[in-house]
Structure 1
Amino acid sequence: MILGKIYKSFRLGIIYLNDFNQTVLKRLIAEKNLEFIPLFEAKPHVFVGRENPLTKKKSITLEDLEDYPYLSYEQGDTNSFYFSEEILSTLQSKKHIQISDRATIFNLMVGLNGYTISSGIISSELNDEKIVAIPLEIDDSMILGYLKNKKIDLSKIAKDYLELLKQHIRNYGFEIYE
């Protein structure tokens, strides 16, 4: 996500804020005349392939991850870790592979026993139940929400999307901020 390039024309964007990125992102959000509307809070989860040995654990520590490849999305020209799609993106790892698309990251989770760290919400419709989310034992959380331009009302399709998104989130047992 690069706020500087998209703020004028976009209608809706989904991001997270946490203790690490919120100061920088809130400043950029305000500068670009955007508004962040929180949806819910989530604890970090590790996404791994269903056959990964880590799936035998009820929760995972950072030490448990040391011998597995860390997978993250490539962030483009700015490559700022404040814009990372993965929480805890600045942690050091022995093996780190940057990916440019969802299909590849899922394939590497399965094929290489790689992992990434996210909210814990994953769609079985998108990954055919090959990926599972396991809670990460860490004192951190993420507030997930959406961005909108303060000067432009959301379109009907954006509002419909938000309602579907909220229902999907509720289906995972999260309470939506209203």
Structure 2
Amino acid sequence: MTLQQLTYLVTVADCGNITEAAEKLFISQPSLSAAIHNLEKEMGVTAFTRSNKGVTVTREGEELLSFARMLLEQADNMKEHFGNGERRTPKFSVSCQHYSFAVNAFVDLIKEYDAEQYSFIIRETQTGEIIEDVASGKSEIGVLYLSEHNEDVILKLIKNNQLKFEEMFVAEPHVFICKDHPLAEKAMISMEDLRPYPYLVYEQGSNNSFYFSEEFISMLDFPKSIQVRDRATLFNLVIGLNGFTVSSGVIDQKLNGSSIIAKPLDADKTMRIGIIKKKNIIFSRYASYYVEALKKHL
């Protein structure tokens, strides 16, 4: 097995077509097919199923691709760390729950490594997809939280994907509401105070269970609930419907607007916010900077 073969494997998977991948790699199609076949034979797996329409990654191929992406990323990180100063295009990807501090840290990262050319990705996405992104190598870091209600399930999933969770911040529960909300003047808000108002939560797709929820209070505790996919929609509904959501209390007026405020929730719960990453990896300089930026904003 060589890094070149792994590069070929990832390129074919990304293109979904041997011919297109060969053109992108500047090699002949027979040479590329032979290299992939030799890698499959060595690893004892069938990475792709072939058809007239192209190639489809198999289940065992997905697992092989996860390792391939990780090894290629680690090779790049080693070259960058120990190399001879070769200029490299800044490249980094993070997947996170819908947190303003995760976006703020991402902004700091781009400002620090601004260049004529770079490739940065931030995915505000569902909890299950965050774990999948880091496990598959699509993202170097994931940002999510654990609490009393979800940690057994989430930590087991993290462990099964050969990942680890590193705690960064313990938050007390807060309610995000509009500054003109009827409850805005209260110093502390109770669960009973919130019952007349719409509870806004982030939709979690096929993993739409309480364990994967970004909010640590179940929708079942309230008669009115609305599921949304993005932060802008959620905050528009907070303002337009006197709705509310439950989160960490870390809020940024530049990103979320001055109309949204955070009030302490009378609940004996905590949120352990942290990052997930692959075990025993070398972080890129961009990932290392992003983690320090997260700590600053938290």
- TM-score when scaled to structure 2? 0.55
Q: Work out whether 1:8 is the aligned partner of 2:130.
A: no
Structure 1 residue 31: deviation in Å? 0.6
Q: Return 109-118 or 159-168, whichever deviates more.
A: 159-168
- How big is the shift at 1:56? 0.6
Q: Would you say the 8 A contact 2:177–2:262 is kept in 1?
A: yes
**Alignment RMSD, CA only?**
1.3
Aligned equivalent of 2:185, options 56, 74, 88: 56
Distance 1:33 1:144 in 2: 19
Post-superposition offset of 1:47 = 0.3
* Structure-1 residue corresponding to 2:237: 108
After TM superposition, give the deviation of residue 82 of structure 1 in Å. Answer: 0.9
Contact 2:219-2:225 within 8 A present in 1 as well: no
Runs of 4+ in 1 over 4 A off after TM superposition: none
Greater relative contact order (CA < 8 Å, ≥ 6 in sequence): 1
Q: Does 1:149 align with 2:278?
A: yes
Equivalent-residue separation in structure 1 for 2:128 and 2:159 (angstroms): 14
- The answer for the alignment partner of 1:33 in structure 2 is 162
Instruction: Tell me how far apart the structure 2 counterparts of residues 158 and 81 of structure 1 sit (CA, whole Å).
Output: 30
Aligned partners of 1:78 and 1:56: how far apart in 2? 36
Residue identity over aligned pairs, in percent, reads: 46
Q: How far apart are the structure 2 equivalents of 1:90 and 1:141?
A: 18
Structure 1 unaligned segments of length 5 or more: list them: 170-178
Deviations 1:78-137 (A, max 9, x none): 212211111113442121000010000010001111000001001111112211110000
3-state SS in 2 of match to 1:54: coil
Report which stretch shifted further, 47-56 or 90-99.
Answer: 90-99
Structure 1 contact 148–154 (Cα < 8 Å) conserved: no
Aligned equivalent of 1:174: none
Is the radius of gyration larger for structure 1 or structure 2? 2
Q: How far apart in 1 are the matches of 2:156 and 2:283?
A: 22
Q: Tell me, yes or no, if the aligned pair for 1:46 and 1:118 is still in contact at 8 Å.
A: yes
Instruction: Give, in whole Å, the separation in 2 of the partners of 1:124 and 1:139.
Output: 27
- Give runs of aligned pairs for residues 84-103 of structure 1, distance below 5 A: 84-103=213-232
Letter in 1 for 2:285: K
In the other structure, the counterpart of 1:20 is: 149
Residue 143 of structure 1 and its aligned partner are, at CA, apart by 0.8
